[in-house]
Amino acid sequence: MTVSGAGFHSLTTEVHDHRPTVEGSIPDWLSGTLIRNGPARFEVGDRRVNHWFDGLAMLRRYAFNDGSLRYSNRFLRTDAYAEAMDGRLTGQFGTDTRGWRRILETVTSLGIPDPTDNANVHVTRIDGEYVALTETPRRIAFDPETLETRGHFRFHDDLPEHITAAHLVDDPHRDELVGFATQFGRTPQYHLYRLPTGCRTREVIASIDANGPAYIHDCSVTADHVIIVESPLVLSVSQALNPFTEGAIDMLDWQPERDTRVLVVDRNTGDIVADPTLDPAFTFHHVNAYVDGETIVLDLVEFPDGGIVDTMSLSELDGDGFPAVPDAHLMRYRIDPDANTVSRTRLYDGAMEMPRVARSVVGQHHRYAYGQATDRAGANGLVKVDCETGTAREWWKQSVYIEEPVPVQHPDADTEDEGVVLATALNLKRERTELMVFDAATLAVQARAVLPHAEPFGFHGRFFKNV
């Protein structure tokens, strides 16, 4: 079995409360539920979608209790899902099967047709509701026990948004979520907002005039700031209105003559604290940020340019091996607000993506960053980088492809890395996905649960202690 054959195939089987075979021992203290999200169906009628981002959303649930594990997976029953069952896929990132119907819909709607509700990127909890997220402003509520779709989730506000964050920063120290939305128009803007726990009304922190606007996927917070990175991967609003485009991917334009701008905003006043620029670079995912004396530190994974988006089209991914995806590197930006400057250094020699830190250090000083080690031949590894010493621990095994790692601290942890790291992994030899439990300090494998099928590669998830 090839990577493309398993990692980018369509999975149509759904199971509920399956008890997988567990090799090793799951810690008794590990209690809660990991819910992951990602694309799982890539064919609509007799056509394969154009891009990995376009597969229909499937939720995957891994529920831990007293050393046991139960597994469920289920498609979100969205408008996009219903249309796909009728042979159509509309308004996706890189696929639109409407053809000439799209021209009519664009004209009659006097603008951009309704965005997709195929919420296949991430999950969060808002005001007690579990919500699947994507980068369009259409969010889907679901039952965390059964994964059944409950319908569209709507905020109790009228914040204007055309593209929105699928990554909401969960800040336990201020008991709020932080995100952003991009608004097109004569003067495009980024709206940074907070969402206090138990609330469905977003509070605008700041509205900032955008250059471009840029395609921005993630953000970070410190105790006092919100940070977004505006790369020169620009969203063309005129292309959004072009009825011949295949989706948002056709709106993207890499403009290296523009610099990358780092926007640091005061979380309380909304003032721009710093907006230094650096040479062109692109980032999907932030690691974390914190204040170090007079300096603001931001760790992220950085690509040399925006070409990574095109390399994740299925025409690239459907080869015999793993595609030649450009490497991303773990970088540290040190921002001096007084001088309005930024410097950057590389923290890890290898290539890395899907970074995470322990929830307890979000917005605070962190020592360790976990992620995929992506520069292995015939495998993806797990890496733990010590951001203080520049050293790293790595785990990898031939024909095993690790997905996003999720660190979970022991409830009585004294250190940042006391606990476990949960990660799904596609095992090509077994032709199955395994849920792996690593010791967060040593990366020793404590347990692996063999799922009843091979899951397509997903994107992101969260561990919820109380579901």
Measured at the CA of 240, the angle between CA 237 and CA 245, to 5 degrees, comes to 140
pLDDT for position 115: 83
pLDDT for position 107: 38
Q: Is the pLDDT of residue 461 over 90?
A: yes
- Over the stretch 302-337, which tens digit does the pLDDT of each residue have? 999 988 877 777 777 776 545 567 889 999 999 999
Nearby residues of 454 by Cβ (< 8 Å), 6 or more positions away: 1, 6, 7, 9, 11, 426, 431, 432, 433
> b/e per residue, 419-447, with b = 16+ CB within 10 A?
bbbbbbbbbbeeebbbbbbbebbebebbb
Q: pTM for this one?
A: 0.93
Could you please report the per-residue DSSP string of 5-52?
Answer: HHHTS-----EEEE--EEEE---TT--EEEEEEEEEE-EETTEE-SBG
CA distances from 155 to 137, 139, 152 (A): 10, 9, 10
- Over the stretch 163-198, which tens digit does the pLDDT of each residue have? 999 999 999 999 999 999 999 988 999 999 999 999
Residue scoring higher pLDDT (313 or 162)? 162
pLDDT for position 46: 81
Mean per-residue pLDDT of the chain: 90
pLDDT for position 347: 97
Residue type at 330?
A: L
Q: Is the pLDDT of residue 242 over 80?
A: no
Residue scoring higher pLDDT (278 or 43)? 278
Q: For residue 247, give both structure tokens.
A: 């989706």
Q: What does the pLDDT average to over 143-162?
A: 97
pLDDT for position 111: 45
Query: Which pLDDT band holds residue 240 (cuts at 50, 70, 90)?
Result: low
Evaluate the omega torsion of the peptide bond into residue 405 and state whether it is cis, within 30 degrees of 0.
no
Helices (H) and strands (E) in the chain, counts: 6, 37
pLDDT for position 5: 67
Q: Is the pLDDT of residue 90 over 90?
A: no
Query: Which pLDDT band holds residue 262 (cuts at 50, 70, 90)?
Result: very high
Q: For residue 94, give both structure tokens.
A: 């890189």
Query: Which pLDDT band holds residue 98 (cuts at 50, 70, 90)?
Result: very low
Measured at the CA of 172, the angle between CA 166 and CA 175, to 5 degrees, comes to 85
